[in-house]
């Protein structure tokens, strides 16, 4: 893990992004104190339609009871 100051981070931001993209964590310091961390994102997986089991019945569209509404408002 490398620590870089804000000026260096601004100057070499594209290079730092590339390094973070391949898995490196980089600390950005302001006035010598750690301020932020540049880390890679976990790759997002595309969602697949129709993977949920079950079906929506007419009961789904019925109004909630007073007890259920009270629980939502707390």
CATH number at residue 31: 3.40.1620.10
Helix locations, 1-74, DSSP H: 6-11, 13-21, 66-73
Rounded average pLDDT over 25-36:
95
Rounded average pLDDT over 39-53:
80
Q: Is 34 within a domain?
A: yes
Give how many domains the chain has, as a whole number: 1
- Give every CB contact of residue 10 below 8 A, 6+ residues apart in sequence: none
Is the pLDDT at 54 greater than 90, yes or no? Answer: no
Q: Is 69 within a domain?
A: no
DSSP state of 60: G
Say what the pTM is: 0.55
């Amino acid at each position: 893990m490398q620590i870089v100051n804000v000026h260096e981070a601004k100057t070499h931001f594209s290079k730092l992004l590339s390094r973070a993209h391949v898995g490196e964590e980089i600390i950005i310091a302001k006035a010598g104190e750690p301020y932020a961390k540049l880390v890679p994102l976990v790759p997002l997986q595309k969602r697949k339609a129709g993977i949920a089991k079950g079906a929506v019945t007419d009961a789904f569209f019925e109004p909630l009871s007073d007890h259920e509404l009270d629980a939502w408002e707390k």
